[in-house]
Structure 1
Amino acid sequence: MKKFAVLYLLLFVFHVSFANSKIEPLPSKNDIALQNAYALAKRVLGARSSNFVFQLDKKTEGKDFFEVSAKGEKILVKGNNGVSLASGLNWYLKKYCNSQFSIIDEHIALPNKLPLPSSPERVETDFNHRYFFNVCTFSYTMAWWNWEQWERQIDWMAMNGVNFPLAITGQEAVWTEVYKELGLSQKQIDDFLVGPAYLPWSWMGNIDGLGGPLPQSWISKHKTLQQQILKRERAFGMKPILQAFTGHVPEALKEVFPQAKLRKTGNWSAGFGGTNFLDPSDELFQRIGKLFIKKQTEMYGTDHYYSADCFNEVNPDSNDPTFLTNVSKSVYHSMASEDPKAVWVMQAWFLYYSIDNFWKEPQVKALFNGVPNDKMIVLDLYGEVHPVWKTQSAFFGKSWVWNVLQNFGGRTSMSGKLNDITANLKDVINSPDKGNFSGIGMSMEYFGNNPVVQELTMGMVWDKQIPDVKLWLGDYVKNRYGNKNKYAVQAWEGMLQTVYNANAQNGTFLCERPGFYDSKFEYRTNPKPDYDPKVLGHALDNLLKCADEFKTLDTYQFDVVNLTRQYISPLAYYWILELQDAYEKKDLDRFLKVKAQYVDLIKDFDLLLATKREYLLGNWIEDAKRWGDTKAEKDLYEWNARNIITLWGEKFTEGEYDDLNTYAYKQWAGMFTDYHLVRWNKFFDEVEYSLRNNEKWDRADFLKWSKDFETKWSHKHDTFPTTPKGNPVEVSMQMFNKYATFINNTTK
């Protein structure tokens, strides 16, 4: 009897203990959105994720929402889908815990006891579509990403309300299957498909074959990767945008279908000739378009949204409105014949870029009129600077999404006019002429330098009203570093007056092809800043004053290095003017003195940037090579990785500069001493020789050498560090102390 009494007592204690433990039931296996919310919380918060409870409210119709409240000592987040739940978690972390999970880094420091809302707080969004990515982002940012990198990005998107992401990884697998079924040989397909770094411009119809042939192992692996991406995005309730047929076809299609009506587009940049487009009136157009959707759906499923950009930076060969209407009708019908629920998602970039003002109102209306209003969504990509919706009657009845572009080519620069971003969105919201405006998004070609721009823009998804940027910035600083240090606030207010009051990308002349400054030429980034460098210097000084409090934070270290890099960048412009003046006045001694400063600056860029993983060339190259199964594949991917950030293409135009040379240049450790310094030393040697021998420096001969060097560099296989070296805060302080006097003296 004693044994039974003891057993009974144990069972009673267990029952009481369990009843008082407040253990939350796990979500059912069928509730995928809820499962993903818990999994995301675990990835972001680790063991502290157990302090959060998620509840899915599927019955609510209308606007997406989340609600945050207390549940005992835990935080309860309710929402109507996975994105809403993740956004509710992020909102709580920012508002109550001075934390930030940014697009590139995070500061998560939860107090031992979580602050509890005094009453439930419900937040809704008025934006139906929250878009993310640019077609070019899949090269300049994500060309070499694996699942681990994608998983973090999807987490960030979910936490920031994104429900409408472009999802075009793995399209090459679809094209391979389509063209095989149409009877093209593997050689003909290989000649058409481009290399990994150039896939976006193949999808948009600008180039064929560059950087290829694309190995089958790449195609197979990225088919699997795309399936992982889509599974996770859909699990959160996102509606991924896949691709559709635009008419861009291999020239070899004519060999298989001799009667095919092919049209040639106009030339694209950097010596690239036109590509081949199938005439929309050709019945083969419908066959290919329908087959593409069929094969793609078999591989990846569908949410019925399809990206198709027929005229990206190239004009069609006819401006006849009837022809253009037939083009859009044909493109849409090729989707809808296989998927009756198809909705065409079109970038409006071609309307801003319009070559020779091709796209006038009759042409634009004709193109849009070929598709029912409820079957097209237009992406106004450059809304914060050049809102096309204003000049194109809000896209003549089509639904459209306002976007912030902010970065071109991945060029390293602190930029983005924050007040313009908020003002332009407010202008849209308040305009009686906004038409079927349906959302907000970001379409950067690269993200990695300016997390503040992404935080401001996507934060407005859930804001009740457009924020005052200066007030918002105070909260941003508090979340980024965990405390509202007055010097940190002053530093960011200084940045708001300078780099974040500029839409143009402000870079350094060090990364341009060497030569004297030419005021007639439009450089890749502004070598002469359109802000006062001394004001930026005060901002850096204030940020460095926070070192004792924040020096161990990854977010602070990144910001200090980024700001120091931006601060010293203009010196190359001021010094090249001095070098040019010394050359013209035949002052060899002054030339040699300034040359020594210039070379030292290049080396110091490498020392500074080597302290942070985000600025290491080695990671870009090694990430590319890891996709290769053989040496030949690794070499091909390395060439793609090197070439896209230097020459870009393979051809040279006859003029002084190539259209795409250095378009995607990077300020990365390894680039400066191994690439930029070699070219600048050659330039200095030639000019010095000219001065010593009283001869005129020959620019043409230098260009021939430079192009040869740049071509050879893309084929090299030397390695670069993949782990940071040096203390980022200490090195930043050294650079500030070393160069502040130079900047103050040269900008008087």
Structure 2
Amino acid sequence: MSKHKFLYIVFIIIFSLTNCEKNVSKSEPIKAALALTERLLPNNYTSFEFTIDSSSSNKDYFEIESLGNKIKITGNNGIALSSGLDWYLKNYCQSDISLNSNQINLPNPLPPVEKTRIETPFDYRYFFNYCTYGYTMPWWDWSRWEQMIDYMALKGVNMPLAIIGQEAVWVEVFKELGMTDEQISSFFVGPAHLPWGWMGNIDGMGGPLPDSWIKKRKELQVKILNRMRALGMKPVLQSFTGHVPKALKELYPNANIFQIDEWAGVEGTYFLDPTDPLFQTIGTAFIKKQTELYGTDHLYDADCFIEVNPPSTDPEFLAQVSHNVYESMAKADPEAVWVLQGWFFYFKKDFWTKERGRAFLNGIPKDKVIVLDLYGEKNPTWDKTDAFYGQPWIWNVICNEDQKVNMSGDLSAMQKQFQLAYNSEIKNNLKGIGVIPEGLGYNSIIQDFIFEKTWNQDKVNIDEWLSNYAIRRYGVENKDAQQAWQVLGKTVYNRTRTMWSPLITTPRLMIFEEGSKEDERHVRKDFKITKKTPFAWDFDVIEFSKAADLILNASETLKDNESYNFDVTNIYRELIAGLTHKMINNLSVAYQAKDKEKFEVAAANLLKMLDDLDAITGTNENFLLGKWLEDARSWGDNKEEQDFFEWNARTIITIWQPYPEGGLRDYAGKQWNGLFSGYYKPRWELFINHLRQSLLKNIEFNPKQYDKEVREMDYNWTKSNDSYPSKVTENPIVVAKRLQKEYKSFFKQ
């Protein structure tokens, strides 16, 4: 064989192997997109063809075109392909894919589409809040996570926070540091409280964790990350913030470990000074161990001062802190990028002057940090920090705090604030868009509205958008449904931060006085029952009742539609809950007037409202306490573990802190079937009985005695094992029509 022929053969082999590797790498996102399509469209997935082309753009894009009787989708990664599928289904097939329900009714044949290319200017599309892992997702199994990952891919999310399984990493790291199993166990908090443990707010609360939990969560995290990465996502893992067990202070007495201020009435946790050499040791060890277990995409979240101040105001110290935190990542991973929640710039704005903020962010190498501006719809921080002093950042909305079960989110404000940020900063250091809710499940419209801007940044006519949304959501043009959503857009989806409902907080009489020392969740000083404001809510309840009527008008046409039935439950829950202030006010006025007859009428009406709320929330599984508890128990390998998980699940949504005197009581209260009948109503009955005895015996109401009894009642409920329905008990349309008839007089103008 000649030398030239030999070299030619070698060249052909190398060329073939190189292209083989490229084809393999290209086939992975195609396989992932096809598998997603098969899960979503089991009867139609063969009608879609996917192609990877990563050569023509440095920005994510997709291209859609008809190819014979198929739809061809081209993109530069699996997320782009999935987004192209969602775009086609939404815009050409009038389909809707949401968090709790899907409406997919594909026409046959599929609508043809001329070749269309869409590109996003955003490198990052972020999703999740630490709190989401406690208020919404602590009990999700793989099948539920699989649905969520598919949803994220379809909506274009490529940068999800992924913090499950951190316990397994820390067990290994702490053991290497010399800690005992007992010391490690006493540091970990309960399952639903874990996010606040990782954020450094609490130690040991609700723990210790069963070994089976740590093992199972590790296995689940591996599945989650594999699927995310197969689709092209780059999940954000955790890094070391300095939060350490108190026991480490005994093992390393020379280390600068200090206790921070209390959080929500809880004893302060312990932090290791980032300038201490031990910080580098632990931070580097954590990244290395985490990478061994879960791999890495080089994105790490670390929030050292999320709701507490640093120990020094010195800008040089703050710059040294951020430099050292980043170095602890970079020593283990030279490609590390620090993902930082910018919440503290707003929450502790008096501390974080521009001088201190600039010093902190400039202590991190340029482009080695991505700052999340959390509250973009109401309290943006980018415009108060010179766009985070030149570091890359992502515009986000929170929308939901503590997984409030309500209908809320100001679409107009979101659009206004987005346009302001986008037009000002997209050519500078604005690199992404995202949604960071503390809880999910009751306002899918918000995620749809925001993530749509990934691919279309144009300002939209919100009335037209809502009308089209109603068509997609139900799959048909129904005038009543479309008009209902127009009303929703002018009422509940025209408010940003909603109030806590006094119905699901510790019962009190209505209080309106300035300077009251009452818990802020009970103070309604800006809202008074008058002829002009008969319901004293932050939306027009009478106007909202028109949406409730309109949505029921569509029941004959839409009665079998999953999304429609969810909306009927949600709308009528919101409507009846809108009577809360009026009902409590009637009770308060009658009591203060010492009118026994009116008091009994008001009490009966209030208790009936609780029964009716229990009935309407029992018509959809997304509002069932029993489902939440059942999911929690499913993680236990034996009765002891099952009871432990149920206790934790009960605690987080009621008293929060697992002891009788807790400072976050009712913070994460839910409007759920089972909670109305089993938790809220008994408290109101106790309160009403105390007031009744006060009237009958002509004695002063004793708040101290009542508080003692109600706190004992709350605490005992978290320790109980009463069962609640985990399956729907009634039809939402039937219950809604009954409520419509029985409460009609309340909404007459």
The match for 2:528 is none
1:319 aligns with 2:318: no
Q: 1:38-77 alignment to 2 at 5 Å?
A: 38-77=34-73
Q: Could you give the per-residue CA deviations for residues 225-259 of structure 1, whole angstroms, max 9, x where no partner exists?
A: 11111101111111111110010000000221121
More displaced 10-residue stretch of structure 1: 455-464 or 375-384: 455-464
Q: Is residue 247 from structure 1 mapped to residue 237 from structure 2 by the alignment?
A: no
Unaligned runs of 5+ in 1: 1-26
Please point out which of 289, 304, 310 is paired with 2:298: 304
User: Per-residue deviation at 1:474?
Assistant: 1.5
- Counterpart mapping for 1:168-567 below 5 A: 168-269=163-264, 271-354=265-348, 357-431=350-424, 435-506=428-499, 508-519=501-512, 520=516, 522-523=520-521, 528-567=536-575
Note closer, same or farther for the CA distance 1:396–1:384 as it changes in structure 2 (3 Å cut): same
Question: Which residue is equivalent to 1:121?
Answer: 116
Q: 1:255 to 1:506 in 2, by over 3 A?
A: closer
Please tell me whether residue 730 in structure 1 is matched to residue 734 in structure 2: yes
Within the alignment, does 1:134 sit opposite 2:132 as a pair? Answer: no
Tell me how far apart the structure 2 counterparts of residues 464 and 246 of structure 1 sit (CA, whole Å): 35
Contact 1:509 1:570 in 2 (8 A): no
Q: Secondary structure at the match of 1:259?
A: coil
One-letter amino acid of the counterpart of residue 698, structure 2: N
Distance 1:275 1:29, change over 3 A: closer
1:60-115 CA-to-partner distances (Å, cap 9, x unmatched) read 23111111111111111111100010011111111111111112211010112111
Contact kept in structure 2, 1:379 and 1:403, CA below 8 Å:
yes
Amino acid paired to 1:171: Q
Deviations 1:105-164 (CA, angstroms, capped at 9, x unpaired): 1101011211111x2111111111100000111111111111111110000100001011
How many Å apart are 1:728 and its aligned residue? 0.7
AA partner of residue 128 (structure 2): F
Separation (CA, whole Å) in 2 of partners of 1:382 and 1:460 = 17
- Offset of 1:721 from its aligned partner? 1.1
* Residue ranges of structure 2 left out of the alignment (5+ in a row): 1-22, 525-534
Q: Does 2:582 match 1:588?
A: no
Q: Equivalents in 2 of 1:135, 1:525: separation in Å?
A: 28
Kept in 2, the 8 Å contact 1:494–1:536? The answer is: yes
Q: Secondary structure at the residue paired with 1:70?
A: strand
Match of 1:646 in 2: 654
Superposed CA offset, 1:362-403 (max 9, x none)? 221121121012100000011011001011111001100000
- Secondary structure of 2:371's match? strand
Q: Among 691, 704, 714, which residue is 1:687 paired with?
A: 691
Instruction: Say whether the 8 Å CA contact 2:236–2:301 is kept in structure 1.
Output: yes
Write the deviation string for residues 424-467 of structure 1: whole angstroms up to 9, x where unpaired.
11001112698411110000011111111111111111115132
Q: Per-residue displacement from partner, 1:519-572 (whole Å, max 9, x unpaired)?
A: 245327988311211100111111111111111101001111111111111212
Once the two structures are superposed, residues 666-688 of structure 1 have per-residue CA deviations (whole angstroms, 9 ceiling, x without a partner) of 00100011000100001111111
Question: Structure 1 367/434 Cα, relative in aligned 2: closer, same or farther at 3 Å?
Answer: farther
Aligned match of 1:703: 707
Mapped partners of 1:713, 1:162: distance in 2: 39
Q: Which amino acid aligns with 1:343?
A: V
Establish whether residue 98 from structure 1 lines up as the match of residue 105 from structure 2. Answer: no
Letter paired with 2:204: G
Question: Residue 15 of structure 2 aligns with which residue?
Answer: none
Matches within 5 A, 1:138-153: 138-153=133-148
Work out the CA distance in 1 between the residues paired with 2:78 and 2:637: 36
* Counterpart position of 1:7: none
Which residue is 2:640 aligned to? 632
User: The residue matched to 2:710 in structure 1 has which SS?
Assistant: helix
TM value normalised by structure 2: 0.93
Check 1:443–1:87 CA distance in 2 against 1; reply closer, same or farther (3 A cut).
Answer: same
Q: In 2, distance between residues paired with 1:42 and 1:528?
A: 48
Work out the percentage of aligned pairs sharing the same amino acid.
45
Q: Cα RMSD between the aligned structures?
A: 1.6
Partner secondary structure for residue 566 of structure 2: helix
> d(CA) in 2 for partners of 1:483 and 1:202?
46
AA aligned to 2:507 is P
Is the contact made by 1:524 and 1:663 (CA closer than 8 Å) also made in structure 2? Answer: no
Per-residue CA distance 1:142-189 (angstroms, 9 max, x = gap): 111111111100001000010111111101111111001111000000
Q: Are 2:682 and 1:678 equivalent residues in the alignment?
A: yes
Q: Distance in 1 between matches of 2:385 and 2:549?
A: 46
1:740 Cα offset (Å): 2.3
* Structure-1 separation of matches of 2:729 and 2:561: 16
Q: Tell me the secondary structure at the aligned position of residue 521 of structure 2.
A: coil
Aligned positions, number = 712
> In structure 2, what residue type is equivalent to 1:496?
G
Aligned position for 2:582: 574
Q: 1:509: Cα distance to partner?
A: 2.7
Correspondence 1:602 to 2:610: yes
**SS of residue in 2 equivalent to 1:510:** coil
Kept in 2, the 8 Å contact 1:413–1:506? The answer is no
**Structure 1 length as normaliser, TM-score?**
0.93
Task: Point out the more displaced range, 524-533 or 218-227.
Answer: 524-533
Distance in 2 (alpha carbons) for counterparts of 1:528 and 1:327:
47
Aligned-partner Cα distance in 1 for 2:275–2:496:
42
Amino acid aligned to 2:94: N
Moved more, 428-437 or 105-114: 428-437
Contact 1:412 1:507 in 2 (8 A): no
